[in-house]
A and B are shown apart, each in its own frame.
Chain A
Amino acid sequence: MSDIYTAVVDIRETQLDPVAALDFVSDPRFGGIDMFIGKVREHNLGRLVTGISYDLFEPLALRTFEAIGERARREIGAPMKLYIAHAKGDLSLGEIAVIVAVGTPHRDEAFRACRLAIEAVKHEAPIWKQEHYVDGDSAWSEGCSLCEEHREAERAAPHGTKAHAHGHEH
């Protein structure tokens, strides 16, 4: 059995399941488990949010999740189980959009691999978020360009005071 699990979950069929993630990464070899759960929150950039629709390019999203898992394994250099699942469809406030869970021998590897994986999912996977607001308006979120030439231009540009390293916050 593979020790990397990846999934795109159609929210019309089922919810994302943190218990399943915990079960998958549990192993007698592992003393450390870290899990990140991303949920739909009420506010974004000062606007009241009622829900989020997620659009995914599924075949490439799954390949990207697997590549992220392999990168995390190389990076931490320890035995590891990794679970990445992302929701697809229309989510309401408080519903789970993404789960990343990692099991490793010790906590440091688990924290590092989990952080690496969730950041990579947000910045590299072909997933798009459309926010719906209380006033009836909707908007696609500003995102990270996957276009090589554009990413290089962003890296070369001086950054302002924003915390995020490529010119926008999310």
Chain B
Amino acid sequence: MKVRIRLFGALRDADANGYIELQVPEHCTIAELRELLRDHLRTHAPHISAGLVQRSAFASDDEILHNHRTLPENGQLAILPPVSGG
């Protein structure tokens, strides 16, 4: 399936479109998606540190999706680097 990952904060530097699309296996977990995204960035955005992806969380519009969760059916996700509001 194809997933679209919206980018925020420092991760916006990974793609000027504001999102990254990846082809991933059905029933992929968030932990697996994290590895696939890291591989993608290593090739397409080598200036983004792997550590930043490691410290980031994935989310749907409604909630944070931890590593054991599977992808939402609509394939729409966001990756949230460490937060700094206020």
Interfacial chain A residues near B49, Cβ < 8 Å: none
- Contact in complex: B10, A145 (CB < 8 Å): no
Interfacial chain B residues near A129, Cβ < 8 Å: 84-86
CA distance A41 to B3 in the complex (A): 39
- Contact in complex: A146, B78 (CB < 8 Å): no
Contact residues on B (Cβ < 8 Å of other chain), bracket: 20 to 34
- Contact in complex: A121, B57 (CB < 8 Å): no
Nearest-CB residue, chain B, relative to A100: B86
With contacts A38-B86, A55-B9, A118-B86 taken as known, whether A143 is within 8 angstroms of B81 at the C-beta atoms is yes
- Contact in complex: A140, B86 (CB < 8 Å): no
Would you give the shortest CB distance from A1 to chain B, in whole angstroms? 24
| Chain A, range 128-148, C-beta contacts under 8 Å to B | 128-130, 140-148
Interfacial chain B residues near A97, Cβ < 8 Å: 86
CA distance A86 to B85 in the complex (A): 8
